Amino acid sequence: MAVAVKTQELAPIKKIRDIPKEEYYVPGHRTCAGCGPALNYKLVAKAAGPNTIFIGPTGCMYVANSSYLCTPYAVPWIHSQITSGGAVASGIEAAYQVLIRKGKREGELPNVIVMAGDGGSVDIGLQAMSAMMYRGHDALFICYDNESYANTGIQTSPTTPYGSNTTFTPPGSAIPEGKRLFPKDPPQLVIGGHPAVKYVATASIAYPVDLMNKVRKGLNQRGPAFLHIHTPCPKGWQFDESKTIELARLAVQTGTWSLYEWENGEYKYQHKPRQFKPVGDYLKVQKRFAHLTQEHIAKIQAFVDAKLKVTGIPAVPASPPQAPA
Ligand SMILES: Cc1ncc(C[n+]2csc(CCOP(=O)(O)OP(=O)(O)O)c2C)c(N)n1
Ligand code: SF4
């Protein structure tokens, strides 16, 4: 007879002092000092707890975290090819469902979490991520966004902002702004195209309780969930490595990054400033934007303003913001 599959229920965290002390992403890795994605991993692993399996598509969070005989993961972790994070998660989740149902494994269904970079989520990894969302697997897909293909030398990705200096978009006389294209919007891609998905949220390492609660909410959902997490990269964005959290907070204060949840078709916003600071405040502390003129900065401000207008209207299907001409 089939055994009913029991699932975990993770309690919300009210205050910072309620955060569990146990660590599942421990010292023993080789990420850069001040690495936003590494701090994000620590927070996500803490929120998820011991009954968790991580899938790590190729990227900084695989390469710098899995040097021979040295790993920071204190829960099961598997590397996947960069293209296939969503496919590997789908297989693991489906296998656990069958094993538990057939009585071959006891206990609750583990949390299955893909921790993918922006490239592994919405560019090279897009097909597998989308398929996992479409088929309705009970797994959480996290895009930690360091706004580049960082591990291969800070190459441009579809979430790299307009005007960034990357190794593939160096500013010069022909293209003075560096990157010419405006970025993709990962949560809107997932919301717009995947009927099985009921929970999508954005988060930032500057707001750890909010981030951890969103991880728990995503995991408590039965079915697929998606988180887009802002994770500044001191090496690629070229800022002082002691300022990672300050910079992440500035992104929210300038409206460059919005914190919201989309649950069953409804939008809810968190930490929305009463008044946004000018985008230039955020750009000027990062050398990747040092070459920009006032005209370029005005284009970025216009893009941010348009995006805030779109996502600021609850439950209205988003038409993508238009790149200023
Ligand atoms: C199919 C394939 N193409 C290219 C690569 C080379 N590659 C390894 S890591 C990486 C960058 C990954 O970028 P992202 O997913 O954004 O993660 P990050 O390195 O920024 O953490 C690339 C392009 C690869 N491993 N496999
Ligand atoms: S390059 Fe960026 S994302 Fe990669 S380890 Fe260094 S700080 Fe972290």
Q: H/E/C letters for each residue in 35-95?
A: CHHHHHHHHHHHHHCCCEEEEEECCHHHHCCCCCCCCCECCCEEEECCCCHHHHHHHHHHH
Ligand 1 atom at minimum distance from 149 CA: 13
Helix segments in the chain, DSSP class H = 36-48, 60-63, 85-101, 118-122, 126-135, 186-193, 208-220, 234-237, 244-253, 279-283, 294-311
Top mutation candidate among 66, 127, 149 for ligand 1, by most atoms within 8 Å of CB = 149
Which one, of 250, 170, 150, 172, lies nearest residue 206 by Cα? 250
Cα 47 to Cα 219: distance, rounded to the nearest angstrom: 10
Q: What pTM does this model have?
A: 0.95
C-alpha 33 to ligand 2 mean position (Å)? 8
Helix (H), strand (E) at residue 230: strand 225-230
Per the structure block, which two tokens stand in for 262? 């989309």
CB 83 less than 6 A from any atom of ligand 1:
yes
Of all ligands present, the nearest one to the C-alpha of 231 is: 2
204: DSSP letter: E
Closest residue by Cα to atom 24, ligand 1, is 82
Of all ligands present, the nearest one to the C-alpha of 155 is: 1
Ligand 2 atom at minimum distance from 30 CA: 5
CATH of domain 35-311: 3.40.50.970
C-alpha 125 to ligand 2 mean position (Å)? 19
Top mutation candidate among 65, 124, 154 for ligand 1, by most atoms within 8 Å of CB = 124
Say if residues 178 and 170 touch (Cβ distance below 8 Å). yes
Of all ligands present, the nearest one to the C-alpha of 237 is: 2
C-alpha 27 to ligand 2 mean position (Å)? 16
Top mutation candidate among 151, 154, 184 for ligand 1, by most atoms within 8 Å of CB = 151
Which one, of 190, 258, 160, 201, lies nearest residue 44 by Cα? 201
* HSE-up (13 A, CA, CB side) for residue 76: 9
Which pLDDT score is estimated for 325?
A: 58
Task: Give residue limits of the domains in the chain.
Answer: 35-311
Ligand 2 atom at minimum distance from 32 CA: 6
Which pLDDT score is estimated for 323?
A: 59
Closest residue by Cα to atom 22, ligand 1, is 152
Closest residue by Cα to atom 4, ligand 2, is 60
pLDDT in tens, the chain (325 residues): 799 999 999 999 999 999 999 999 999 889 999 999 999 999 999 999 999 999 999 999 999 998 888 899 999 999 999 999 999 999 999 999 999 999 999 999 999 999 999 999 999 999 999 999 999 999 999 999 999 999 999 999 999 999 999 999 999 999 999 999 999 999 999 999 999 999 999 999 999 999 999 999 999 999 999 999 999 999 999 999 999 999 999 999 999 999 999 998 999 999 988 889 999 999 999 999 999 999 999 999 999 999 888 655 343 333 445 556 5
Helix segments in 115-171, DSSP class H = 118-122, 126-135
b/e map of 5-18 (b: 16 or more CB within 10 Å)? beebebeebeeeee
Which pLDDT score is estimated for 275?
A: 87
C-alpha 76 to ligand 1 mean position (Å)? 22
Cα 13 to Cα 260: distance, rounded to the nearest angstrom: 17
43: Cβ contacts below 8 Å, ≥ 6 apart: 205, 208, 211, 212, 215
C-alpha 119 to ligand 1 mean position (Å)? 6
C-alpha 150 to ligand 2 mean position (Å)? 6
Q: Is 156 helix (H, G, I), strand (E, B) or coil?
A: coil
Top mutation candidate among 58, 66, 233 for ligand 2, by most atoms within 8 Å of CB = 233
Cα 50 to Cα 111: distance, rounded to the nearest angstrom: 9
